[in-house]
């Protein structure tokens, strides 16, 4: 009887070992993906709205520190899995920015993180640039109610290391934004990315929209085009380039006729040149 029990125990262990090995060899097994739970828990805690000026300042400090931790996570994730795709990295980051069980943090239609990366990968790949655009809400409204960043990371085959090389986008802090890719220039290692959106918790007749087209390179984030603050500003891409709809501030608030404006910009990818070709009032 004792021998039979020992035999069954050994067989059971072998079955578990085989199952574990098979699971590890699955094509969709998360090989090289780092755990996201600890950072997700910190994001979840940001739901608690501050009740005093001291709590507000502490919340902003915590969010800034958390962003630095997410930077470190991204660097380590790229080093652990250099061939990671953009969708895989974005899924990893969504687990952090939109943790399961959080309410109010990941509302429908809000882009809390967007990853841009060249998907080509092979033995001759010597470096990869990853651009991560993100926003973290602090649990309150106002100029510091959210932290918006566009960060560029570079992985080098010779050192097998990744590092944060440039960052920008902080002028959109306190806004809920969208990220749109207009163009990618692989030879220059530069992405042209729109960031646009209204203030958090806006109310009234119109919100003060803002939009900027950034050139995100490996060593700098530069402003290519900027809209200024315009009532009800919306940006979207079209076949020519992009379009902007907004209200004329003077005409809108003075109840004058034709207060709305539609602008369309033609963009030439080869020359990097763009110009406004339609300016229509209605």
Residue 77 pLDDT exceeds 80? yes
Alpha carbons 38 and 112: distance in angstroms, whole number: 18
Rounded to 5 degrees, what are φ and ψ at 153?
-125, 145
CB 195 within 8 A of CB 172: yes
> What confidence tens digit (pLDDT) does each residue in 92-147 have?
999 998 876 555 556 555 678 999 998 877 778 899 999 999 998 887 788 888 99
Residue 51 pLDDT exceeds 80? no
> What confidence tens digit (pLDDT) does each residue in 132-145 have?
999 988 877 888 88
Label residues 147-163 b or e (16+ Cβ within 10 Å = b): bbbbbbbbbeeeeeebe
Question: What pLDDT was estimated at residue 30?
Answer: 59
The mean of the pLDDT values for the chain is 85
Q: Mean pLDDT, to the nearest integer, of 250-273?
A: 94
Residue 36 pLDDT exceeds 70? yes
Residue 26 pLDDT exceeds 90? no
Question: What pLDDT was estimated at residue 11?
Answer: 45
CB 268 within 8 A of CB 255: no
E strand or H helix that includes residue 154: strand 146-156
Q: Mean pLDDT, to the nearest integer, of 24-32?
A: 52
pTM score of the predicted model: 0.84
Structure tokens at 87: 């969708």
Alpha helices in 26-139 (DSSP H): 37-45, 53-80, 86-97
- 249: pLDDT confidence band, cut at 50, 70 and 90? confident
> What confidence tens digit (pLDDT) does each residue in 184-234 have?
999 999 999 999 999 987 766 778 899 999 999 999 999 999 998 999 999
- Residue percentage of the chain with pLDDT more than 70: 84
Q: Which of 219, 224, 30 is nearest to 129 (CA)?
A: 219
Tracing tokens 């039979």 back to the chain, one arrives at 4
Least confident of 155-169, 204-218, 228-242: 204-218
């Amino acid at each position: 009887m004792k021998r039979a029990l020992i035999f069954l125990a050994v067989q059971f262990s072998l079955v578990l070992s085989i199952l574990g090995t098979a699971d590890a060899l699955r094509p969709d097994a998360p090989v090289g993906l780092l755990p996201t739970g600890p950072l997700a828990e910190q994001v979840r805690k940001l739901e608690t709205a501050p009740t005093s000026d001291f709590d507000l300042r502490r919340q902003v400090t915590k969010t800034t520190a958390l962003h630095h931790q997410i930077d470190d996570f991204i660097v380590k994730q790229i080093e652990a899995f250099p061939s990671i795709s953009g969708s895989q990295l974005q899924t990893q980051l969504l687990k952090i920015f939109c943790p399961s069980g959080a309410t109010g943090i990941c509302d429908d239609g809000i882009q809390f993180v967007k990853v841009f990366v060249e998907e080509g990968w092979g033995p001759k790949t010597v470096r990869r640039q990853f651009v991560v655009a993100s926003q973290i809400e602090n649990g309150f409204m106002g100029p510091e109610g959210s932290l918006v960043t566009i960060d560029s990371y570079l992985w080098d085959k010779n050192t097998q290391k990744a590092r944060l090389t440039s960052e920008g986008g902080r002028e959109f802090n306190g806004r809920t934004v969208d990220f749109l890719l207009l163009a990618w220039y692989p030879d220059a290692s530069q992405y042209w990315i729109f960031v646009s959106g209204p203030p958090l918790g806006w109310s009234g007749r119109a919100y003060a929209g803002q939009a900027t087209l950034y050139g995100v390179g490996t060593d700098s984030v530069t402003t290519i085009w900027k809209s200024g603050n315009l009532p009800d500003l919306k940006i979207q891409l079209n076949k020519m380039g992009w379009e902007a709809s907004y209200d004329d501030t003077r005409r809108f608030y003075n109840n004058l006729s034709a207060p709305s404006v539609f602008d369309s910009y033609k963009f030439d990818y080869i020359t990097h040149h763009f110009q406004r070709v339609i300016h229509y009032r209605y």
